[in-house]
Structure 1
Amino acid sequence: MASKSLRRAGVSAQLCELLRRHRVENCKDLLSLTTLEVMRAAGLSHRRALALLQSVSKRCVPPVTTALELWRQNSESYFPTSLAALDKLLHGGLPRGSITEVAGPSGCGKSQMCMMLSVLATLPRSLGGLDGGVIYIDTESAFTAERLVEIAQSRFAEYFSSREKVRQMAARVHLFRELTCRDVLNRLEKLEENIILAKAGLLILDSVASVVRKEFDTTLPGNLSHRSNLLGQEAATLKYLAHQFNIPVVLTNQITTHVGDGGSSSSGEDSGFVTAALGNTWSHTVNTRLIVQYADAHQRQIVIAKSPVAPFAVLNYTVQKAGICLNENDDEDPVREGTDPGLQPIRVRTGFRYEPAKATGGADKPPR
């Protein structure tokens, strides 16, 4: 909540401008000052400076609600993914006001899922959409406008039959390419205004792990602590934005090799398995974790590894021109017995086989 801009906390535009000259731009900046410092920066009396601090402090406190109010809002608390079986398990779709992570190996369709959700968010509510804009932060340069349009025209051919409808959809997806950790964090901390101007109903970060793992070699002293602090700041800001605007926030995550808990192999080497990256602490940060993994050469699987409402479940899908398409012919019950979402093994492609990969290196080293 402290990341909230001063203007949205009820501070006048004139006062905001005075404070901005002293590099005080959000609630956190202001509340870090003493009353005397506020008096000097804003030219206020002691009484008015104290009143300003108290007013802004109250605006940063999360509002109190009741379980009954949440229950009444339940029908509008989810964003349907258009994947009927997945939405049914999730009680309506991706939860608003919280973070959903899609983790898995390269090539399983994480970015395809993000682009499909972007199209869905722009659709009218009568078609299951949010009738809003999309904020899309791309850290891997994986987003392509051509693929976005292809998914739209293939999945909703009737609605996007005219070029004008396609143009309107594409104009509502606001893309930011941020290629360093600092750029990503700076963008998130200044995103409030963009969300308001774009009337955004969905925020996507593809991917949260990409820039972090490039910049932080966790084998070097101090880097793991610095990385944890950065991820903590990102998570806090994302949760604030999700809650403040009551929108679903979707992140993608990479994979890593977990070493040491898988027993020993017959050759005497350490065994291990592939899991979602960024560690166990991060896995507790996300509210919902969906894992995408390989089933065979053509088919992939969505695993509901963590959810406040859904059971552990596995659904088969393929990636087509229309995006992610579930195998509707599956008769098998998708509900399975799960494990710790932070250590859930992920099936990866190894040669021509699809199986959990064996450990070959450090605890945060992606498979080749």
Structure 2
Amino acid sequence: MSRNILLHPTLPSSTQLALRRAGYETLDDLSGTSVEALSKELGIDISDLQSIITVSQRPPGPPLSQSLASLISRSRIFACSYAAVNTALGGGLPRGHILEISGPPGSFKETLALDYARIFVEANEEVIFIDTQNMTSLATIKKAFHNSSAAANYRDLVRYAHLHTLPDLMIFIYNLLSEIHSKTGLLILNSISFPFLSHPDLQSSKRTALLEKIHQVFLQASALHNLTIITTSQMSTKLLNADGSPGNFETGAKAVMVPQLGSTYLPSGRSYRLVIVPESRTTGVIQLLSSPTHPSGQARHQYDLSHHGA
């Protein structure tokens, strides 16, 4: 039996999400907790929690029902071709986690996302590639696999779709869990911020609700289905007052560039947020804004695309 609460097979997804939001991530976190106290804390029926409380009292051990290959696949860390990115991520991107890549036009956001696509396809896993801004075509994807060991069969493992509007994106999000099967390893949402930019009149409350829905689906897809998710995002300008508080055009003392969607749509315990800051055509900085272990990140690593990797 997995020690990860979100991989517990007998719990309803709503119960798993409630546990995760309350800060419970492993069975060990529940050790010493009574089912009555947990039921009261979460507002969940005792019968839905009894089995997991019982399992949490057992000594930890390997999940005997899973093969060694399955366990290795679930815990695998994917290192890309860019050394600075791997360093920023602490060695690579763990399976079943979420990576947001932000940067200005001309940064290698899409190139990095395609590098991960290549890695997953070479591992014989399916990749769902969604483009919302005509930034990456099928021809571009084909080029990314030109020198790959999977060049001959990448078409069988890459599902490509172009979504034109925000409603298109949200329909995809609502149906995502039904699109995942045992071979699906990676979802790439390229330019996820663009559909929101194309609806400038979107009410703040509606925008927040849509981002929260994406958050919920991402959490379920990554935690329950072990799906790795990569998004690329544009940058927007944020005005700050002299004391660092949010400003406007009248009070702002400086402007900074931030990822366009913010962090609302990303599950904090499973997400990495990277910003690419180019300094020249081939050099720049990879900045880690946050990670599961460092919520306020800010680590910076130099990259040089003229060398092998970055």
TM over 0.5: yes
Tell me the SS of whatever aligns to 2:152. helix
Q: Does 1:276 align with 2:276?
A: no
Judged with a 3 Å threshold, the aligned counterparts in structure 2 of structure 1 residues 106 and 89 are, in CA distance, closer, same or farther, namely closer
Q: Does 1:314 align with 2:307?
A: no
Tell me the SS of whatever aligns to 1:326. coil
Write the mapping of 1:105-144 to structure 2, written as runs, cut at 5 A. Answer: 105-124=104-123, 131-144=124-137
Tell me the SS of whatever aligns to 1:196. coil
How far 1:182 moved relative to its partner? 1.9
Q: Does 1:303 align with 2:287?
A: yes
Q: Does 1:239 align with 2:232?
A: no
Structure 1 letter corresponding to 2:114: M
How far 1:77 moved relative to its partner? 4.3
How far 1:186 moved relative to its partner? 1.5
Tell me the SS of whatever aligns to 1:170. helix
How far 1:169 moved relative to its partner? 1.5
| TM-score, normalised with respect to structure 2 | 0.67
Match of 2:207 among 203, 227, 235: 227
Judged with a 3 Å threshold, the aligned counterparts in structure 2 of structure 1 residues 174 and 325 are, in CA distance, closer, same or farther, namely farther
The answer (yes or no) to whether the contact 1:99–1:239 under 8 Å persists in 2 is no
Match of 2:144 among 136, 143, 151: 151
The whole-number CA distance in structure 2 between the counterparts of 1:213 and 1:110 is 18
The answer (yes or no) to whether the contact 2:88–2:301 under 8 Å persists in 1 is no
Aligned residue for 1:251? Answer: 231
The whole-number CA distance in structure 1 between the counterparts of 2:52 and 2:168 is 27
Structure 1 letter corresponding to 2:115: M
Deviations 1:117-163 (A, max 9, x none): 11111113xxxxxx201011211121222222323234x4xx3xxxx
Aligned residue for 2:181? Answer: 196
Write the mapping of 1:1-368 to structure 2, written as runs, cut at 5 A. Answer: 76-124=75-123, 131-154=124-147, 156=148, 159=149, 165-196=150-181, 199-217=183-201, 223-262=203-242, 270-279=253-262, 281-282=264-265, 285=268, 287-309=271-293, 312-318=298-304, 326-327=309-310
How far 1:62 moved relative to its partner? 9.4
Structure 2 letter corresponding to 1:287: S
How far 1:279 moved relative to its partner? 3.5
How far 1:316 moved relative to its partner? 3.2
Structure 2 runs not aligned, ≥5 long:
1-8, 15-46, 63-67
Which piece of structure 1 moves more, 72-81 or 89-98? 72-81
The alignment covers a number of residue pairs equal to 251
How far 1:89 moved relative to its partner? 4.6
Judged with a 3 Å threshold, the aligned counterparts in structure 2 of structure 1 residues 206 and 325 are, in CA distance, closer, same or farther, namely farther
How far 1:282 moved relative to its partner? 4.8
How far 1:90 moved relative to its partner? 2.7
Which piece of structure 1 moves more, 93-102 or 79-88? 79-88
The answer (yes or no) to whether the contact 2:214–2:265 under 8 Å persists in 1 is no
The whole-number CA distance in structure 2 between the counterparts of 1:62 and 1:247 is 23
How far 1:314 moved relative to its partner? 2.6
Structure 1 letter corresponding to 2:208: S
Tell me the SS of whatever aligns to 1:303. strand
Deviations 1:292-313 (A, max 9, x none): 1211243232212211347643
Deviations 1:168-192 (A, max 9, x none): 0132110121122222121122223
Tell me the SS of whatever aligns to 2:168. helix
Which piece of structure 1 moves more, 233-242 or 253-262? 253-262
Aligned residue for 1:4? Answer: none
The whole-number CA distance in structure 2 between the counterparts of 1:115 and 1:227 is 28
Structure 1 runs not aligned, ≥5 long:
1-8, 11-26, 29-56, 125-130, 160-164, 328-368
Tell me the SS of whatever aligns to 2:255. strand
The whole-number CA distance in structure 1 between the counterparts of 2:48 and 2:255 is 49
Superposed CA RMSD in Å reads 3.9
Tell me the SS of whatever aligns to 1:105. coil
How far 1:257 moved relative to its partner? 0.8
How far 1:242 moved relative to its partner? 1.0
Judged with a 3 Å threshold, the aligned counterparts in structure 2 of structure 1 residues 138 and 319 are, in CA distance, closer, same or farther, namely farther
